[in-house]
Structure 1
Amino acid sequence: MKRFVTFLSIILTGLACQPNEQTEPKPMKPQKIVVYQVFTRLFGNTNTSNKPWGTKEENGVGKFNDFTDTALEEIKKLGVSHIWYTGVPHHGVIGDFPEIGVSSDDPDVIKGRAGSPYAVRDYYQVNPDLAVDVTKRMEEFEALIARTHKHEMKVIIDIVPNHVSRHYEGKNNPEGVLDFGADDDKTVEYAKDNNFYYIPGEAFQVPEPKNGYQPLGAEKHPLADGKFDENPAKWTGNGSRLAQPDFYDWYETVKINYGVSPDGKKDFDELPSGADSLDWKAHYEFWQGKDVPDSWKKFKDITQFWLGKDVDGFRFDMAEMVPVEFWSYLNSNIKNTNPEAFLLAEVYNPSLYRDYIHKGKMDYLYDKVELYDTLKHIMYGYGSTDNLPPILDGLKDIEHHMLHFLENHDEQRIASPEFAGNPWKALPALVVSATSTTSPTMIYFGQEVGEPGAEDAGFGDPSRTSIFDYIGVPQHQKWMNGGKFDGGQLSDNEKALRNYYSEVLNFTRNSSALMGEYLDLHVFNRSINPNYTDKAFSYARWDESQKLIVVTNFDEFQSLKTTLKLSPELLKAWGLEKGEREIKELMFGKKKTMLRVTDSGAEIDLDFGPWESAVFEVN
């Protein structure tokens, strides 16, 4: 405990106060992208009841209007350039909305009470739970878009092309737009222009529950009868071809057909040879006049609808489950409407990364299975930083396209006992994640104040903030402070943590070097310096106007006291003059050390506490 308090006192000294306006350096033009993912339903909820399986009346629910000007300005001050509003399109939810003629979804095919945001029920409307006046729910979201733009941030929403809700019901389609499945031939398993895959002659059966599960936590509901009317049955969202999918399948959704037959035959044109080297304009031209499957057109229309609402981009769920040719078609159409649109995809197979970037015209992909998983292993306490250089080197050709994160709605909260148990353990990983490449950085709301996601929400599991239930987010609620959004209920420790995130993220937004060159120093130092351990990590970043050395210490218990050797390759690139000079830390502005350059090489003195990081500028 003494060690932690000592380290915390250092952080508090440097971060608890806002920078002095007279000494703060003039900011450069923002360059790096910082995405703030927020679960829209939970953000503004001030209710602290947190009853398992609680209703929105019992546990509360956040609204679009909770994102006030004050809230948005405080998010922007964190260093954010884009807000990903998760859970905006109208998805399956338990409860009637008679004012708009929307009936409750069936609990037998809904996960949780509030429903999964990835089981979209109507793509041309927003979740009615998010509106103060459900009859004006779209107007309230349009006002949020305008407010976000007023605070100079861009708006991202989810699109889920692989699947839709089992109870899809397009009540708000624009004129001339048919509903999904409206013209399907349900007598066959597959047809090119069918929107779904069918199991002719068999009716859908609700999965057999496991582990004692009962919808709504066993609360009685007129529709919770173990039945759901779907005849013939459709394939399930994760690809199950059974009329009765398994309980662990995505049984609340049905899979969209993109013109790929059950045996894998593609009923659409292949991309031409060399398409991976063509820009989006050439891809757009390629698809003009082509006969594409009906589902392609439906999702093109959906994205164009939201672009028309001034949405700035999309996060595409499970993109690798949809053919790359479709992405070429969709994304080139999006870029034709808005060339600056932000396109982020959830792809977990590294062998597909380059296809989805170069052929599918994605801007960014999750860097989950390589960088995130490795950093998580290190944060657990038994991973080695020796595993980081091969990852960064292996992704060098596409590093700009790999979005970095330490939390999102699918991953465990850092502060949860099931993960790190202490949010401060993530600080070195945050620095590496945010400064090692030119890619965007993403944080998940509540991450910056140490939210542990510990609630027993109902369907959702503790360690992850539930996306299925009505629930409060305690640490985030402290920062909200009843709608003041001033952190008034946070402890000094929690305020210091949020200030740390703010310092790091704002630094990345204002540092030109972080959009420039990268050179690893870790491997060189591990090979020649026995006092430089596999809990340290270091590298250089630079451009024509700024030279930086980044050093982190992932060790929870041991200080890092040694010298950092600059490699001959870096010395050649930088052309440093011989001599000894003092260099200063830029990100937090407190630390200083000595750089010595001689005929035999160059080195920097390091004296780092546990979990400490620094970015030194070399003049």
Structure 2
Amino acid sequence: MINKKTFVTGITLLILVTACKTNDLRMNAAKDEALPKNKIVVYQVFTRLFGNKNTTNKPWGTIEENGVGKFNDFTDKALHEIKDLGATYIWYTGVPHHALVRDYTAYGISNDDPEVVKGRAGSPYAVKDYYNVNPDLAVNPANRLQEFEALIARTHKAGLKVIIDIVPNHIARKYEGKTNPEGVKDFGVDDDVSVEYARNNNFYYIPNTEFIVPDGNPPLNGEKNPLVDGKFTESPAKWTGNGSRKAKPDQNDWYETVKVNYGIRPDGSKDFPELPAGFDKKSYKEHFTFWQDKDVPDSWKKFRSIALYWMNKGVDGFRFDMAEMVPYEFWSYMNSAIKTKKPDTFLLAEVYNPKEYRNYIRLGKMDYLYDKVETYDKLKDVVRGNSWPDGLSDIQKGMADIEHHMLHFLDNHDEQRLASPEFAGNPERGKPLMVVSTTISTSPTMVYFGQEVGEAGNENAGFGTHSRTSIFDYIGVPNHQRWMNNGKFDGGQLSDKEKFLRDFYKRLLNFSINSSALMGSFYEMQTANRFKTVSYDDFVYSYARWSESQKLIVVTNFSGTVTSEFELKIPSELISKWSLKDGDYPLKDQLYNTNTIQMKVQNGEGFAKVKIVPSESFIYELK
């Protein structure tokens, strides 16, 4: 926990920096883009786990022991319930065919060596065939692509749009495009393997050197397998996905993958045309035109073809894994082609370096980036007692020009579960974080399946560790399975607390997608209340959101133990912006519609008495 006595001076200086002149932050996208009319909510599912009804959860269990979900488990009822929760998009994580340890040779698929596969079910980010889907997910693996196409159609019928992964930085060590469209060659087929680098090679090589399996824990936890012999044939060895140039990568490297070459020389210089100055202000149409007569590396063409292939299947968007490890010039080339084909395609990138955000948005033409190291990390620090929430205002100020492009989340396949002891500690403590994450900006909101019923990721799955729902193993997701209720998708096995929690998410998300104010302006009220308002406690945070037709005041209490009762000050500057005259105004909470307080405006300044219990939030609307 932080020490208030030693922290107060620093926080006071922080608040002075965020004085009222910075409060009027009109949230806009880039000038050549228009904000969507309503909030976007992405519901992420780990596809092979979603429909799994098996509750055995044996560490390192096989499909037969632990079960696996299928495309067909996303029934009309399941999709209706996801839509009813408030989702507008569903991200089917782990759809492209990736390396895994299971015999599908009867379907023309080669076996993968467990020594270059993480876990038994395999990493979804070691893609083996970009033109087909994971055979584990199909009732009939021979028809796996058709089963996914049917799921796309069912998803659209339910009023949801479809997102899948594309992993541009790396692919599985044993990539085999068994179902390539006519004219499409596999990665590496035409590579000159005698050199470390060539512009049109798809990979980087370690010439005249054999790949050596990394040391570490035995594959499959020591289980016997005919392919486990301490060897994996790769000659010459390739660079590993995370950039390791060793023929024998470390066990902590992304040893199951190889890095794709985009025309970046080993010394880091660029071997392709660069965007002219000023192209950060150009539209995707102008970017598309720029690339029409340019010669680009072969890997660029291959990934553009992959994206357009899936768009032709009806996919509405992509989540690009580790996008910042790929040059933004490539993204300009690919994303402008995607947008030219379908302008409303949803493009989400995994980027963690704040210094590069604007390059990937403005030059790379990404719609959205992860807001991980700013809002997510700050909220996690606050709920764990390591900082106060005041800094959220600075984050909003610092990203005011790109805030719509920074997707907010508190849970995903890579992170510790929100309800885990390592994060919020329990689902109730996560509720104020969810309110702020959802309402503080115009950005999309993402929810990871099971989050809405308090899934804590406690299972020992095998290769995967607890606090994160494993992406490498066959496993069940207990809280989610109780909501799934053996395929009824009616929450029939949930506890009362879990039902109330899901109801909270449903109320919050549905309010957000129907609120014009949440696509409007932001005004931080922390400066007016911190250290100036009696009993406005350290872990209370407040701000206003508004549009022409709706005015909101959000108050949240991050404390898990302290009830705060105080008179909230609504600054005169905000009262003026809202054109309010002196008098009394009702403020009605929009989450549960049971709490109405009075705001009194006197001499141009507003006051409202608030009582807020631990982990509670109010979204007050001016009536």
- The TM-score, its normalising length taken from structure 1, stands at 0.94
Aligned partner of residue 589 in structure 1, secondary structure? coil
User: What CA distance in whole angstroms lies between the structure 2 residues aligned with 1:76 and 1:555?
Assistant: 31
Task: Provide the rounded CA distance (Å) in 2 between the counterparts of 1:278 and 1:365.
Answer: 19
Question: Secondary structure at the residue paired with 1:397?
Answer: coil
How many residues are aligned here? 588
Counterpart-to-counterpart distance in 1, 2:528 and 2:261: 51
Are the aligned partners of 1:99 and 1:134 in contact in 2 as well (CA < 8 Å)?
no
Structure 2 partner of 1:595: 599
Return the alpha-carbon distance in structure 2 between the equivalents of residues 414 and 548 of structure 1.
Answer: 26
Matching residue's letter, 2:556: T
Query: Residue 322 of structure 2 aligns with which residue?
Result: 318
Q: Residues 326-405 of structure 1: matches in 2 within 5 Å? A: 326-405=330-409
Aligned match for 1:185, one of 180, 188, 192? 192
CA–CA separation in structure 1 for the residues paired with 2:45 and 2:336: 27
User: Which residue does 2:461 correspond to in 1?
Assistant: 457
Who is 2:417 aligned against? 413
**Deviation at 1:42?**
0.3
What is the 5 A alignment of 1:191-590? Answer: 191-209=198-216, 213-590=217-594
Provide Cα deviations, 1:207-248, integer angstroms capped at 9, x if missing partner.
111xxx111011000011111000100000000000001110
1:132 aligned residue: 139
Deviating 4+ runs (over 6 angstroms): none
Post-superposition CA distance 1:248-284 (Å, at most 9, x none): 0000000000001101121110101100000100000
Distance 2:541 2:592 in 1: 18
Deviations 1:121-162 (A, max 9, x none): 000000000000111000000000000000110000000000
The Cα shift of 1:586 comes to 1.7
Structure 2: runs of 5 or more not aligned:
1-35
The CA deviation string for residues 406-454 of structure 1, in whole angstroms up to 9 with x for no partner, is 0000000122222222111011110000001000000100000011111
Separation (CA, whole Å) in 1 of partners of 2:621 and 2:317: 35
CA distance in 2, matches of 1:382, 1:261: 42
Matches for 1:16-27 after TM superposition, within 5 Å: none
In the aligned structure 2, how far is the partner of 1:383 from the partner of 1:46? 40
- Displacement of 1:528 in angstroms is 2.1
Distance of 2:404 and 2:54 partners within structure 1: 40
One-letter amino acid matched to 1:323? P
For the residues of structure 2 that align with 1:578 and 1:108, how far apart are their CA atoms? 72
The residue correspondences of 1:9-20 to structure 2 (distance < 5 A) are none
1:379-403 CA distance string (max 9 Å, x none): 2133211121111111111000000
Shift of 1:560: 1.4
Instruction: Give the residue type in structure 2 aligned to 1:61.
Output: V
| Contact 2:37 2:519 (C-alpha < 8 Å) held by counterparts | no
Contact (CA 8 Å) 1:30, 1:510: kept in 2 or not?
no
For residue 83 of structure 1, give the secondary structure of its aligned residue in structure 2: strand
Aligned to 1:20: none
Q: Is the 8 A contact 1:594 1:605 kept in 2?
A: yes
Match of 2:125 in 1: 118
Distance 2:224 2:404 in 1: 51
Q: Which residue of 1 aligns with 2:54?
A: 47
Paired position in structure 1 for 2:176: 169
Report what 2:22 is aligned to.
none
Q: Percent identity?
A: 63
Q: Alpha-carbon deviations, 1:454-494, whole Å to 9, x = none?
A: 11111001110000000000100000000000000001000
1:562 and 1:81 mapped to 2: Cα distance? 37
Amino acid at match of 2:235: N
Q: Does 1:105 align with 2:123?
A: no
User: 1:397, 1:528 → 2: CA distance?
Assistant: 30
Secondary structure, aligned partner of 1:528: coil
Instruction: Please tell me the residue identity of whatever aligns with 1:93.
Output: L
Inter-partner Cα distance in structure 2 for 1:542 and 1:358: 27
Q: Which runs of 5+ in 1 are unaligned?
A: 1-28
- Asked whether the equivalents of residues 30 and 511 of structure 1 are also in contact (C-alpha less than 8 Å), the reply is no
Asked if 1 retains the 8 angstrom alpha-carbon contact of 2:239 and 2:259, the reply is yes
